[in-house]
Amino acid sequence: MIIKPKVRGFICVTAHPDGCAAHVRSWIDYVRAQRSIAGGPKRVLVIGASTGYGLASRVTAAFGSGAATLGVFFERPSEDGRTATPGWYNTVAFTRAAQAAGLYAKNLNGDAFSDELKRQAIDLIAADLGQVDLVVYSLASPRRTHPKTGAVHKMVLKPIGAPYTNKTVDTDKGLVSEVTVEPANDQEVADTVAIMGGEDWEYWMNALSEAGVLAPGARSVAYSYIGPEVTWAIYKNGTIGVAKHDLERAARNIDALLQLNGGGHAYVSVNKALVTQASSAIPVVPLYISILFKLMKARGTHEGCIEQLYRLFASELYAPGGPKLDEGGRIRIDDWEMRPDVQNEVAKLWPQITTETVGALTDLAGYRSDFLKLFGFGLPGVNYDAEVDPLVPMP
């Protein structure tokens, strides 16, 4: 079939296998072009390994440090004439490339929140790797069935306490308008924390520790975002922000656990705003990202997912003196985004953005390009007019 992008709202319902493979190859090529990560990880578990920061972590560990990697994710293969999810195609491409390079790369596709998948991962680590020295927790999901209670939690992206009104942009049509988001109730806050907070990260780390599959001195990292004041009502001070506070709580508990296991550490890394499937769903944020990209590209400081994660591993996680932490104990690789000159310019441009000016004052075109690349579209060297088989088996 000939596969074209079909965008509905903030999601693309098709994905291109050759385009996704080209995207993954470009990330691998970037990491291979950098210096090797001295003292980097060698046996890595990535929870949420198929897209975004999780996939970039896996690529960086494998091709920047020669690491064996086990990836955990929940993705759908092609069926009934539909394309697979982009994460499926991404993982196929990564696994093929890693195995061709002589690197261990295996995958578990299922519900990472479940006890059963945790057991499968532990059994596979014990059988193949013995222990892991890095655990990356990069899980993002709209829902979670709690393994202990059976309750089904659904995430919401809402402010807390009062409605929030601000500008947003329809990234498909380029229309700038005001959006009002009603505040979350207590149950919605609790549900979002249950999914995006730190409880499941703790469950994973406790299970791995109890099974004896964490190497002495093992490290773990989870990802977060803070952003500028213009996004705080919907992010930092909203439901997702409360969940990220809980992630930091979990990091402290996990750090204490790892300290007892040969002096390991757990970190929360605050990363830069990027185009992801998750960020595309948050009102206001796509407009902010479009402005940010224009400013950072002009300054030569723009980074995509793979550049961010390589810098995290090489300059922070595995730096000779260890990572530099902020007052909250977090790694900050959003530092270039949050520079005062950048944020002052964002604040200056924000009131000037209208439907008529958005094309000139922002990098909306770059946002659209990055969004489509998430699904394998717009990659150089791919013939999008050619027939392609959507059914691609996992190696």
- In this prediction, residue 230 has a pLDDT band, given cuts at 50, 70 and 90, of confident
**pLDDT value of position 124:** 98
CA-nearest of 214, 283, 271, 231 to 247 is 271
As a whole number of angstroms, the distance between CA 220 and CA 46 comes to 10
What is the band of 80 on the pLDDT scale with cuts at 50, 70, 90? confident
Q: How confident is the model at residue 102, as a pLDDT?
A: 98
pTM of the model: 0.96
The confidence score (pLDDT) of residue 260 equals: 94
Q: With bands split at pLDDT 50, 70 and 90, how would you rate the model's confidence at 279?
A: confident
Give the start-to-end residue ranges of the domains of the chain. 7-142+153-373
pLDDT digits (tens, 9 = 90+) for 104-135: 999 999 999 999 999 999 999 999 999 999 99
Determine contact, residues 33/59, Cβ cutoff 8 Å.
no
What percentage of the chain reaches a pLDDT higher than 70? 100
Q: Which distant-in-sequence residues (6+ apart) come within 8 Å of 17 by Cβ? A: 3, 83, 84, 89, 92, 376, 388, 389, 390, 392
Q: Are 101 and 81 in contact (CB under 8 A)?
A: no
- 201: confidence class by pLDDT, cuts 50, 70, 90: very high
List active site positions: 235
26-35, 145-154, 168-177, 326-335, range with the lowest pLDDT: 168-177
- Vertex 116, ends 255 and 246: CA angle to 5°? 35
Is residue 326 pLDDT above 90, yes or no?
A: yes
**pLDDT at position 318 over 80:** yes
> Residue 287: its pLDDT value, please?
93
**Range with the lowest mean pLDDT among 89-98, 107-116, 237-246, 272-281?**
272-281
Using alpha carbons only, what angle is made at residue 185 by residues 183 and 186, rounded to the nearest 5 degrees?
135
Percent of the chain with pLDDT over 90: 90
pLDDT of residue 22 exceeding 80:
yes
Print the SS3 string covering 201-230.
HHHHHHHHHHCCCEEEEEEEEEEECCCCHH
Which DSSP symbol is given to 160?
B
Q: What CA–CA distance (Å, rounded) separates 319 from 219?
A: 13
Query: Which residue do the tokens 């505040």 mark?
Result: 183
Strand positions, DSSP E, the chain: 7-8, 11-12, 43-47, 68-73, 105-109, 132-137, 143-145, 152-154, 164-170, 175-181, 214-224, 265-270, 331-332
Is domain 7-142+153-373 given the CATH code 3.40.50.720 in the classification?
A: yes
Using the predicted structure, report yes or no on whether residue 392 has a pLDDT greater than 90.
yes
3-state secondary structure of 349: helix
What's the rounded mean pLDDT across residues 195-216?
Answer: 97
The stretch 222-239 carries a mean pLDDT of: 90
CA–CA separation, 144 and 218 (whole Å): 27
- HSE of 221 in the Cβ direction (CA atoms, 13 Å)? 25
